[in-house]
């Protein structure tokens, strides 16, 4: 008999988990108070860039590398075969404001992503960095597409706010998956106080001439990746602009993320047109919801320095200023199961899949597949003595 699963959350984590479970013949309902098309500060997914960017900190063979690798393959395949998904292949030039380039010399993902241009072959002027073909995701369209796939395959949705996780323990429910993002902090029965926001401010501009992505990350305060330095950005920009932010313990990312506007275009690799995201900040434990003018000015200044062709000699056409709260967690992603009981005393498996920080998209399919494996394992050992924390 098919098992019934309630997935709490309709962000990228909830929707990909719902699809992975559905694909394995589970009967799935997604319960959430925000769905694709909604905009809210406590709903992170629509506020992302988003791209897949190899994280040089992961050891080859680690769970993180496995999750991110699995997701890359899935997203790359979507980009090549399903244009309606709004996932696009795109080149990314990536630099880190650090003199150590060790992780870029031999990245764990070098055999995964096509067309890795190693440090030694970067264009003249670049001290170090890496360039490779990856994927960019037009997130509002992608989220709607994920939801459509789920509903088309027989998935059900329920829009409601849950005060307590037990609100998802229906009579016939066997499994509940917790994909509540930042609100795992407040959801009754979970109340994970190690979850905190990492605020990100970005600007959406109209720049159809931009056809690739560039990233410069300030690595120092958090030992973020300790990857590389960059010399073709004006040294003065680095000195005058990034150092004070560093002192403020704020990780600053400069990136240009391409958003494909026209998903009907057949050439997914070099698709033209579009909206471009200029980023951005990573600011831990900052909750303010409104875009900060000074930060916005800094983003424009740094992005035009990194990517002079951005303005094409004209004024930037700004579409919107955006703020999102990344769902961070002290110990990182929570991917585990526990057993609880519903009102009738029936055992319910709870699987947690939250705390994705800045990697919700690029970890999504891999983490969802891990969640599926954990659920199957828990179902197969059901009836045996397992301690309930709820
Ligand atoms: C500026 C910015 C740029 C980013 N760029 C990237 C990128 O390039 N690549 C990348 O991989 N990631 C990126 N991220 C991170 C990514 O967006 C997040 O990690 C991801 O969106 C988290 O998704 P989620 O599904 O876990 O949470 P959310 O999207 O926040 O979804 C939570 C869901 O749970 C529901 N929910 C919660 N509590 C309740 C409740 N009590 N009752 C009912 N429903 C509830 C909500 O309604 C919602 O549907 C970026 C984030 C930001 C802000």
239 pLDDT more than 60: no
314 pLDDT more than 50: yes
Q: What is the pLDDT of residue 189?
A: 97
- Mean pLDDT of the 334-351 span: 96
Going by C-beta distance under 8 Å and a sequence separation of 6 or more, which residues neighbour residue 148?
A: none
Ordered domains of the chain (ranges, CATH) = 4-380 (3.40.50.720)
Strands 195-206 and 317-329: antiparallel
- 11 in ligand 1 pocket by Cβ < 6 Å? yes
Task: Tell me which H or E stretch contains 74.
Answer: helix 63-81
| CA–centroid distance, residue 326 to ligand 1 (Å) | 7
Confidence class for position 367, pLDDT limits 50, 70, 90? very high
Confidence class for position 217, pLDDT limits 50, 70, 90? low
268 pLDDT more than 80: no
Q: Which of 10-14, 254-258, 385-389 has the highest mean pLDDT?
A: 10-14
336 pLDDT more than 70: yes
Q: What is the pLDDT of residue 117?
A: 77
Q: What is the pLDDT of residue 95?
A: 72
Annotated binding site for D-dopa: which residue ranges? Answer: 326
Decide: 207 and 300 in contact? Cβ < 8 Å.
Answer: no
Q: What is the overall mean pLDDT for the chain?
A: 80
What's the CA gap between 331 and 112, in Å, rounded? Answer: 27
Q: What is the pLDDT of residue 226?
A: 23
Buried b (16+ CB within 10 A) or exposed e, 198-213: bbbbbbbbebeebbbb
Q: Is the N-terminal amide bond of 50 cis, ω within 30° of 0?
A: yes
- 107 in ligand 1 pocket by Cβ < 6 Å? no
Task: Tell me which H or E stretch contains 370.
Answer: helix 364-380
313 pLDDT more than 60: yes
**Which of residues 147 and 233 earns the better pLDDT score?**
147
Which atom belonging to ligand 1 lies closest to the Cα atom of 45? 21
Q: What is the pLDDT of residue 378?
A: 97
What's the CA gap between 187 and 372, in Å, rounded? Answer: 22
- The answer to which of 9-18, 94-103, 159-168, 220-229 has the lowest mean pLDDT is 220-229
- 348 in ligand 1 pocket by Cβ < 6 Å? no
- The answer to which of 8-12, 51-55, 237-241 has the lowest mean pLDDT is 237-241
98 pLDDT more than 60: no
In 3D space, the residue among 254, 273, 251, 277 whose CA is nearest the CA of residue 263 turns out to be 273
| CA–centroid distance, residue 8 to ligand 1 (Å) | 12
Q: Which of 124-133, 242-251, 370-379 has the highest mean pLDDT?
A: 370-379
55: helix, strand or coil? coil
Confidence class for position 30, pLDDT limits 50, 70, 90? very high
């Amino acid at each position: 008999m098919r098992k019934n699963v309630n997935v709490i959350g309709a962000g990228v984590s909830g929707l990909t988990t719902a699809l992975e479970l559905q694909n394995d013949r589970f009967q799935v309902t997604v319960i959430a108070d925000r769905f694709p098309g909604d905009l809210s500060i406590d709903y992170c997914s629509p506020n992302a860039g988003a791209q897949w960017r190899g994280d040089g900190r992961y050891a080859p063979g680690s769970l993180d590398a496995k999750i991110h690798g699995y997701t890359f393959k899935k997203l790359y395949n979507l980009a090549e075969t399903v244009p309606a998904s709004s996932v696009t292949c795109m080149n990314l030039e990536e630099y880190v404001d650090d003199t150590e380039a060790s992780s870029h010399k031999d990245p764990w993902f070098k055999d995964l992503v096509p067309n890795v241009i190693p440090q030694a072959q970067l264009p003249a002027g670049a001290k170090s960095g890496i360039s490779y073909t990856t994927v960019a995701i037009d997130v509002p369209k992608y989220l709607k597409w994920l939801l459509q796939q789920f509903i088309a395959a027989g998935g059900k949705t329920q829009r409601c706010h849950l005060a307590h996780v037990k609100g998802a323990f229906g009579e016939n429910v066997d499994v509940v998956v917790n994909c509540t993002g930042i609100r795992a902090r407040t959801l009754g029965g979970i109340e994970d106080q190690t979850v905190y926001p990492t605020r990100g401010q970005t600007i959406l501009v109209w720049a159809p001439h931009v056809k690739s992505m560039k990233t410069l990350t300030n690595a120092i305060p958090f030992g973020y990746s300790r990857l590389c330095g960059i010399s073709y950005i004006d040294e003065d920009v680095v000195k005058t602009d990034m150092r004070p932010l560093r002192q403020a313990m704020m990780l600053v990312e400069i990136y240009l993320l391409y958003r494909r506007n026209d998903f009907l275009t057949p050439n997914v690799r070099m698709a033209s047109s579009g909206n471009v995201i200029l980023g951005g900040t990573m600011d831990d434990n900052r909750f303010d919801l409104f875009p900060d003018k000074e930060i916005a000015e800094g983003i424009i200044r740094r992005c035009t320095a990194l990517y002079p062709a951005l303005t094409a000699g004209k004024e930037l056409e700004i579409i919107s200023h955006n703020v999102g709260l990344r769902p961070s967690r002290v110990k990182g992603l929570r991917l585990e199961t526990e057993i609880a009981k519903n009102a009738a005393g029936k055992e319910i498996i709870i699987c947690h899949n939250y705390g994705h920080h800045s990697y919700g998209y690029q970890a999504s399919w891999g983490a969802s597949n891990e969640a599926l494996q954990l659920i199957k394992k828990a179902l197969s050992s059901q009836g045996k003595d397992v301690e309930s924390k709820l």
